Amino acid sequence: MEKETLKQGKSGRKLIILGFVSIAILFLLYSRYQNPELITPDAFDSIQRIAYGFYVILLACLGAITYGLYIFHREKVERKEKDLFTIIAITTWNSKSRKIFLATFIGYGIFFALASGTLVYQPEINFATDLGQEVPGGFVAPCCGDPGYMPKIVYNLTEHVGLQIIPINFVLQVVVSYLVGLNTSIAISAYAISKKGRGASSIGAAAGLFIACPTCAGTFLSIFVGTASGIALTIALAQLQTLFIAISIPVLVITPFVMARKLRNADGSCKIDPTL
pLDDT at 220 exceeding the cut of 70 = no
pTM value is 0.77
pLDDT band, residue 70 (cuts 50/70/90): very high
For residue range 127-144, what is the model confidence (pLDDT) as tens digits? 777 777 778 888 888 887
Q: How far apart are CA 3 and CA 151, in angstroms?
A: 43
Average pLDDT in the chain: 75
pLDDT at 218 exceeding the cut of 50 = no
For residue range 39-58, what is the model confidence (pLDDT) as tens digits? 777 777 788 888 899 999 99
pLDDT at 211 exceeding the cut of 70 = no
Buried residues in 217-246 as b, exposed as e (16+ CB within 10 A)? bbeeebeeeeeeebeebbeebeeeeeebbe
Candidates 98, 92, 100, 97; CA nearest to 76 is: 92
* Confidence at residue 246, expressed as pLDDT on a 0 to 100 scale: 60
- Which whole-number Å values give the CA distances from 4 to 16, 17, 21, 82, 139, in the listed order? 19, 20, 26, 19, 46
Quote the Cα angle for 47-53-57, to 5°. 140
Say if strands 119-121 and 161-165 run parallel, antiparallel, or are unpaired.
antiparallel
Average pLDDT over residues 255-272: 73
The residue with greater pLDDT, 108 or 245, is 108
* Confidence at residue 214, expressed as pLDDT on a 0 to 100 scale: 39
* Confidence at residue 158, expressed as pLDDT on a 0 to 100 scale: 84
Average pLDDT over residues 78-89: 84
Residues 6+ apart with CB under 8 A from 143: 33, 34, 36, 39, 47, 150, 151
pLDDT at 232 exceeding the cut of 80 = no
Q: How far apart are CA 252 and CA 271, in angstroms?
A: 22
When mean pLDDT is compared across 8-17, 187-196, 255-264, the lowest value belongs to 187-196
* Confidence at residue 204, expressed as pLDDT on a 0 to 100 scale: 46
pLDDT band, residue 9 (cuts 50/70/90): low
pLDDT at 230 exceeding the cut of 50 = no
For residue range 103-121, what is the model confidence (pLDDT) as tens digits? 989 988 888 787 777 888 7
* Confidence at residue 255, expressed as pLDDT on a 0 to 100 scale: 82
pLDDT at 241 exceeding the cut of 60 = no
When mean pLDDT is compared across 8-12, 220-224, 245-249, the lowest value belongs to 220-224
pLDDT band, residue 84 (cuts 50/70/90): confident
For residue range 25-43, what is the model confidence (pLDDT) as tens digits? 999 988 887 777 767 777 7
pLDDT at 90 exceeding the cut of 70 = yes
pLDDT at 253 exceeding the cut of 80 = yes
Q: How far apart are CA 214 and CA 21, in angstroms?
A: 26
* Confidence at residue 238, expressed as pLDDT on a 0 to 100 scale: 42
